[in-house]
Homo-oligomer: A and B are copies of this chain.
């Protein structure tokens, strides 16, 4: 399977790349800085210069021939909300348009817990949630992509547990490693197409949880 990972250099992106490589997929790691390339090449992925500030037809060139795209990019806490608008919202939507232009159908995005319900957005993160919300909504209603929207709880850096609870009633934490494992499993699980899946760490092995 040929998978393009947008935001490959991010904390979750890196883990998705290495897990895909480990299971024998051909991985194209979208990176912004040329000096990020070598580490991906060394790890068995193919590094591709990729900048979400570009227009959809430019992004599409990088997607040609892919079987799936994973959007794991995030403007991050170190940039301003201008980049939240440009990357988390418009960058995401441009990558969806680019997927269509390139003829790629499968599209998985890493979103966030509670994104669909404005009343539950954490107060300090509301502007970020606005961006994620409208990107998710665009994917669901304005594209015909075979999408999966993953909405993990509070991200932590502990070791992966391999176990989750999907669509929990309350919030919770989840390791970035388990989010990456779940995202990789999603790509191999057609039952996840068209679904929005909230996930926190829990008791169900990911292999089973991804089928639910």
Q: Please give the residue numbers on chain A whose beta carbons come within 8 Å of chain B beta carbons, in ascending order.
A: 55, 80-86, 89-90, 94, 118-119, 126-127, 130-131, 133-134, 137-138, 141-142
Query: Are B85 and A118 in contact (CB-based, < 8 A)?
Result: no
Q: Chain B nearest CB: distance from A55 CB in Å? A: 6
Known: A85-B84, A90-B130, A130-B86. A55 touches B142 (CB 8 A): no
Contacts of A94 in B (CB 8 A): 118
Q: In the complex, what residue of chain B is closest to A86 when comparing beta carbons?
A: B127
User: A83: nearest residue on chain B (CB-CB)?
Assistant: B127
Residue of B nearest to A133 (CB): B90
Instruction: Assess the B126–A86 pair: CB atoms within 8 A.
Output: yes
Contact residues of A: prevailing secondary structure: helix
- Complex interface: chain B residues within 8 A of A138 (CB): 134
Residues of B within 8 A of A86 (CB): 126-127, 130
A34 to chain B, nearest CB (A): 23
Using Cβ atoms and an 8 Å threshold, which residues of chain B touch A84?
A: 81, 85
Contact of A130 with B85 in the complex, beta carbons under 8 Å:
yes
Residue of B nearest to A119 (CB): B55
Q: Given contacts A89-B134, A134-B134, are A127 and B82 in contact (CB under 8 A)?
A: yes
Q: A80 vs B81: C-alpha distance in the bound complex, in angstroms?
A: 8
A118 to B55, CA, bound (A): 8
Measured CB to CB, the nearest residue on chain B to A134 is: B134
A80-B80, A141-B141 known; 11 new pairs, CB 8 Å cut-off, are A81-B81, A81-B84, A81-B85, A85-B130, A86-B126, A89-B130, A90-B130, A94-B118, A134-B134, A134-B138, A141-B142
**A94 to chain B: closest residue by CB:** B118
Distance of A148 from chain B, by nearest CB (Å): 21
CA A137 – CA B93 in complex, angstroms? 13
* Cα separation A83 to B126 with both chains bound (whole Å): 10
Q: Shortest beta-carbon distance, A181 to chain B, in Å? A: 31
A86-B127 Cα distance, complex, nearest whole Å: 6
